[in-house]
Structure 1
C-alpha cells in the first residue's frame, strides 16, 4: 500500500495565501495589531486564526499555478488586499488622537506629552494617549474584536482572490474613512471646543475690563480644573460615540 502526498503542495499554497491576507490585516487592525502586543504573539495568533479559517475558505481559493510567477502574483494580490483593508480600518483610531489633542489644547495641557502605546511609542498629548489606550481596552471589553475577526472572514466574500485589485476604490475608501474619523474626533471633542470658546471669550472680556490683572495666570488653574471635570463627566459619552463609529465601520467591511 502506498500513501500519496500529492495534495500537500496545493494545501500548503492555499494556507500561505490565506495567511498573507489574514496576517496583514491582523498586524494592522486596531486592538489586535497594537504595537504593545509582542510581535511573536500576533504572528502566532495570525497563524492559528488562518488554520481555523482554512476549512471554511479553502474552496474559495484559486488553484495552485504551475509557474512560480503565478504563485507570487496571487501571494502579492492577497498581501496587498490585507494591507489595504487593515490600513483603512486603522485610520479609524485617529478619532481618539484628534479628540485627545483638542481636549488637551482647550484645557491648557497640550504641553503635557507622553508615549502613546498605540502609535509605536511616539509622543502625543496625555489626553490623546489616554483615549487611544481606553479605546483599545473598550474594544476588547465590548467584544468588538470578534466583529473585527468576522470582518476578516467576510472580506473574502467582498474581495475575491481572483478579482483584480481595486486600488482606486481603496483610495476613495481611505479618504472617506479619514474624513469620517476626523468627523468623529471633532464630535467627541465638541463640548470642549464650546468650553474653550466661552472661557477664552470671558477671559478676554475680563482682561479688557481689568488691565492690571494678570488674567492668564489667574484663570489658567480654573481652566485646567473645569476642563478635567468636564472630561470626567463626558468621557462615557465620548467613548460610546467612538465605539459606535468603530462598529459601524467594521460592519461596512462585512458587507
Structure 2
C-alpha cells in the first residue's frame, strides 16, 4: 500500500499564504491586535482562523513549487491585503479617539492623560474610556463576527494572484480616514455646542463682573455639566459608532 504525499509541499505553501493574510489582519484588528495581548494568543487566533479559512479557499491558490520568487511575491501580496483589511477595522475605532479628544478639550480635560491599553501609549482619558467601551460593545454585540466574514469575503474582492488594485486600496484608505474623522466630530457635536455656549456665557459674565474669578468658577462647572451631558448622550454616541462600524464591515462584504 502506497500513500501519496506529493501534495504536502503545495498544501504547506498554501497554508502559509493563507496564514500571511490572516496573521497580518489579526495583528491590527481591534480587540485582537492590542499591544497588551500576548503574541502567543494572537498567533493561536491566526492559526485557528487559518485552519478554518483554508479548506474554503484552497482552490483559489495556484501554487508553483518549481520557483521560489512567485511564492514570495504572492506572500507579499497576501500580507498587504491583510494589512489593508486590519487597518480599515482599526481606523474605524479611531473615531472614538477623535471624539474623546474633542470632548476632553471642551470640558477642560485636555491635559488629563493616561496609558491607552489598546495602543500602549499616552492618550486622553475620555478618549481611552470611549475606546474601551466601544471595543467592549463590539464583542458584546458579536460585531466582531463581521470582521471574520469580511476576511472570508476578501477572497472575492482580492483574489490570490490577481493584479493588486492599488487605486481601489488608496480610495478605501482615504475614505476610511476621512469617514473616521467625520464620525468622530459628529459624535462630539453636542459638546462642541456646549463648549461654544458655555464659553460665550463665561465671556459675558467676565465683562459684567470683572472682579469675579471666572476661571475658577468656570472650569469645575464645565466639567460637571459636561459629564452630565456625557451621561445623557453616551447611549446615542455608542449606538452611532456601532452602526458606523457595521456599515464599514458591510462595505468589505460584497453582496452575493
TM-score by length of 2: 0.96
Shift of 1:148: 0.6
Determine the structure 2 residue equivalent to 1:35. 35
Determine the structure 2 residue equivalent to 1:9. 9
Q: Deviations over 1:121-160 (max 9, x none)?
A: 1111100000111111111000011111111000001110
Determine the structure 1 residue equivalent to 2:130. 131
C-alpha distance in 2 between matches for 1:223 and 1:123: 24
Q: Secondary structure at the match of 2:153?
A: helix
Matches within 5 A, 1:57-96: 57-96=57-96
In the alignment of these two chains, the number of paired residues is: 254
C-alpha distance in 2 between matches for 1:33 and 1:247: 19
Give the gaps of 5 or more residues in structure 2.
none
Is 1:99 aligned with 2:99?
Answer: yes
Determine the structure 2 residue equivalent to 1:163. 162
C-alpha distance in 2 between matches for 1:184 and 1:125: 18
Shift of 1:29: 1.5
Shift of 1:171: 1.5
C-alpha distance in 2 between matches for 1:105 and 1:253: 34
The answer to whether the 8 Å contact 1:32/1:145 transfers is no
C-alpha distance in 2 between matches for 1:201 and 1:143: 43
Is 1:180 aligned with 2:147?
Answer: no
C-alpha distance in 2 between matches for 1:218 and 1:6: 79
TM-score by length of 1: 0.97
Determine the structure 1 residue equivalent to 2:236. 237
C-alpha distance in 1 between matches for 2:33 and 2:249: 15
C-alpha distance in 2 between matches for 1:83 and 1:221: 44
Give the gaps of 5 or more residues in structure 1.
none
Shift of 1:48: 0.9
Determine the structure 2 residue equivalent to 1:246. 245
Determine the structure 1 residue equivalent to 2:212. 213
C-alpha distance in 2 between matches for 1:49 and 1:85: 15
C-alpha distance in 2 between matches for 1:37 and 1:247: 24
C-alpha distance in 1 between matches for 2:134 and 2:61: 35
Further displaced range: 22-31 or 179-188: 22-31
Further displaced range: 63-72 or 95-104: 63-72
